[in-house]
Chains A and B, each alone.
Chain A
Amino acid sequence: DGGITQSPKYLFRKEGQNVTLSCEQNLNHDAMYWYRQDPGQGLRLIYYSQIVNDFQKGDIAEGYSVSREKKESFPLTVTSAQKNPTAFYLCASSAPPQPQHFGDGTRLSIL
């Protein structure tokens, strides 16, 4: 089945540690996105990529990094510079102008 797979579902980060969230899609979409969702709030854009080997910062990119070496993969690293990383992270992909489709998310917590 075509879709977007995020892993892991749950992740815990220690102080000073970098962690990487995986996002893989087999929909052959060019565009991929990372969003952060805090409790009771909407989604905020962290990074997006419209094509392989290219990506742009979203509204809240500080403390995060991404890469786009393959069309189907768009991993997000939460660095130790992100002081408040506890949130629900959602990855999406699209073939513009079609709507974005989302993965099931990764819930990140601090130990």
Chain B
Amino acid sequence: EDKVVQSPLSLVVHEGDTVTLNCSYEVTNFRSLLWYKQEKKAPTFLFMLTSSGIEKKSGRLSSILDKKELFSILNITATQTGDSAVYLCAVEAYNAGNMLTFGGGTRLMVKP
């Protein structure tokens, strides 16, 4: 059975801090790993990672995948209150109809 574990469960930081969120996985026939940000409602897509060692970057957010050690990290630099959200990690397997297996999420709170 595919499995995704995120840590920490929750995190409280102050504006300007840098945070690192972790995602480890076990999946048969790995295809990709995805990061989503969920505020009140719909998760919004952040990154899709398929290759080891290649950093994806979008503004203050970046993510990297290690397919040998089976984990990914999501970094947020110079955090802002608008970064407060639940961050979800999910993995997709080949021959699985594009289905995603999600981790439990990391709840990030950024204080002014």
| Interface residue ranges, A against B (CB under 8 Å) | 4, 31, 33, 35, 40-45, 48, 50, 56, 58, 90, 94, 96-97, 99-105
**A22 to chain B: closest CB distance in Å?**
15
Quick one: which of A40, A56, A104 has the most chain B CB within 10 A?
Answer: A40
Instruction: For the complex, give the distance between the alpha carbons of A92 and B98 in Å.
Output: 11
Are A102 and B34 in contact (CB-based, < 8 A)? no
- CB-based A-B contact count at 8 angstroms: 57
| Interface bracket on B | 20 to 34
Name B94's closest neighbour in chain A (CB-CB): A97
Which secondary structure characterizes the binding site on chain B?
strand
Q: Tell whether, in the assembled complex, residue B98 and residue A43 are in contact, meaning their CB atoms are under 8 Å apart.
A: no
Contact surface of B with A, Cβ cutoff 8 Å: 4, 6, 31-32, 34, 36, 41-45, 48, 88, 90, 97-105, 107
Name the 7 nearest CB pairs between A and B, nearest first: A42-B102, A96-B98, A102-B42, A104-B41, A43-B102, A42-B104, A99-B45
Smallest CB–CB gap between A1 and chain B, Å?
Answer: 14
Interchain CB contact under 8 A, B98 and A97: yes
Chain B residues near A50 (CB-CB < 8 A): 97-98
A41 in contact with B98 (CB, 8 Å): no
